[in-house]
Chains A and B, each alone.
Chain A
Amino acid sequence: MTFTWTFTPLGEAALLAEAVTADHEAANRAALAAAAALEAGRPPGFIAATPAIASLLVCFDPLVAGHAAMTAIVRALLEDPPPLREQGRVVTIPVTYGGEAGPDLEEVAAILGITPAEVVAAHTSGPFRVMMIGFAPGFPYIGPLPPRLRVPRRATPRATVPPGSVALAAGLTGIYPARLPGGWHVIGRTALRLFDAAAEPPALLAPGDLVQFVADA
Chain B
Amino acid sequence: MLDVLASGPLLTVQDLGRTAARRYGVPASGAMDRFALVAANRLVGNPPDAAALEITAGGAELVLSAPALVAVTGADLGARCNDRHLPLWTAVRVGRGERIRFTGRSGEWGARAYLAVTGGIAVPIALGSRATDLAGGFGGLAGRALPPGDRLPIGPPPPLAELAPGRYWPPELRPPYGSRPTLRLLPGPHVGGFGPEALELLTTRIWRVGATSNRMGYRLEGPPLAALRPFDLPSLGVVPGVIQVPPDGAPILLMADAQTTGGYPVIGTVIGADLPLAAQLLPGDALRLTLATLEEALAAHRALVAMLNQPLDADEGDLLAAMAGWW
Question: A-side interface residues toward B, CB under 8 Å?
Answer: 6, 8-14, 16, 18, 24, 35, 39, 47-57, 59, 61-64, 67, 132-139, 141, 178, 195, 197-198, 201-203, 206
- Are the CB atoms of B259 and A136 closer together than 8 Å? yes
- Are the CB atoms of B19 and A48 closer together than 8 Å? yes
CB-CB < 8 A to A14: which residues of B? 239, 269
Q: Does B305 contact A (CB under 8 A)?
A: yes
Q: Does B96 contact A (CB under 8 A)?
A: no
CB-CB < 8 A to B26: which residues of A? 137, 197, 202
- Are the CB atoms of B24 and A48 closer together than 8 Å? no
Q: Does B222 contact A (CB under 8 A)?
A: no
Residue of A52, A132, A137, A139 with highest tally of chain B CB at under 10 A: A137
- Are the CB atoms of A53 and B301 closer together than 8 Å? no
- Are the CB atoms of A197 and B136 closer together than 8 Å? yes
Residue of A24, A59, A134 with highest tally of chain B CB at under 10 A: A134
Residue of B126, B234, B259 with highest tally of chain A CB at under 10 A: B234
As a 0/1 sequence over residues 290 to 322 of chain B, the CB contacts with chain A under 8 angstroms (1 = contact) are 000010011011100100000000000000000
- Are the CB atoms of A134 and B25 closer together than 8 Å? yes
Residue of A10, A63, A136 with highest tally of chain B CB at under 10 A: A10
List B188-203 residues whose CB lies under 8 Å from chain A.
188-189
- Are the CB atoms of A62 and B235 closer together than 8 Å? no
Can you pick out 17 interface pairs between chain A and chain B where the beta carbons lie within 8 Å of each other? A8-B187, A9-B297, A10-B189, A12-B300, A13-B301, A39-B23, A48-B19, A50-B261, A53-B235, A56-B237, A57-B236, A63-B305, A134-B25, A136-B25, A136-B259, A137-B25, A197-B137
Q: Does B119 contact A (CB under 8 A)?
A: no
List B20-48 residues whose CB lies under 8 Å from chain A.
20-27
Report how far A141 CA is from B235 CA in the complex, Å. Answer: 9
Q: Which of the residues B133, B138, B271 comes within 8 Å of A12, measured between beta carbons?
A: B271
Q: Does B170 contact A (CB under 8 A)?
A: no
- Are the CB atoms of B136 and A137 closer together than 8 Å? yes
Minimum distance in angstroms from B8 CB to a CB of chain A: 26
Q: A13-B301, A49-B23, A197-B126 are in contact. Are A134 and B235 (CB under 8 A)?
A: yes
The count of A-to-B residue pairs whose CB atoms sit within 8 angstroms is 151
Q: A134-B260, A197-B136, A197-B139 are in contact. Are A50 and B23 (CB under 8 A)?
A: yes
Q: Does B63 contact A (CB under 8 A)?
A: no
CB-CB < 8 A to B143: which residues of A? 197
Q: Which of the residues A16, A49, A64 comes within 8 Å of B236, measured between beta carbons?
A: A16
Report how far A6 CA is from B266 CA in the complex, Å. Answer: 14
Report how far A143 CA is from B136 CA in the complex, Å. Answer: 25
As a 0/1 sequence over residues 177 to 192 of chain B, the CB contacts with chain A under 8 angstroms (1 = contact) are 0000000001111000
Q: A64-B325, A137-B25, A203-B25 are in contact. Are A12 and B234 (CB under 8 A)?
A: no
- Are the CB atoms of A55 and B301 closer together than 8 Å? no
- Are the CB atoms of A61 and B327 closer together than 8 Å? yes
Q: Does B286 contact A (CB under 8 A)?
A: no
- Are the CB atoms of A10 and B242 closer together than 8 Å? yes
- Are the CB atoms of B236 and A203 closer together than 8 Å? no
- Are the CB atoms of A18 and B327 closer together than 8 Å? no
Q: Does B145 contact A (CB under 8 A)?
A: no
What 4 A-B pairs come out closest when comparing CB atoms?
A57-B237, A134-B261, A50-B237, A53-B234
Q: A52-B236, A55-B234 are in contact. Are A135 and B127 (CB under 8 A)?
A: no
User: 15 more A-B contacts (CB under 8 A) besides A49-B23, A197-B138?
Assistant: A9-B297, A11-B297, A12-B273, A12-B301, A13-B301, A47-B20, A48-B23, A52-B234, A54-B234, A57-B239, A63-B305, A64-B325, A134-B25, A137-B26, A197-B136
- Are the CB atoms of A135 and B24 closer together than 8 Å? no
Q: Does B272 contact A (CB under 8 A)?
A: yes
Q: A10-B266, A11-B271 are in contact. Are A202 and B24 (CB under 8 A)?
A: yes
Report how far A135 CA is from B236 CA in the complex, Å. Answer: 10
CB-CB < 8 A to A10: which residues of B? 186, 188-189, 238-239, 241-242, 266, 269
Minimum distance in angstroms from A130 CB to a CB of chain B: 11
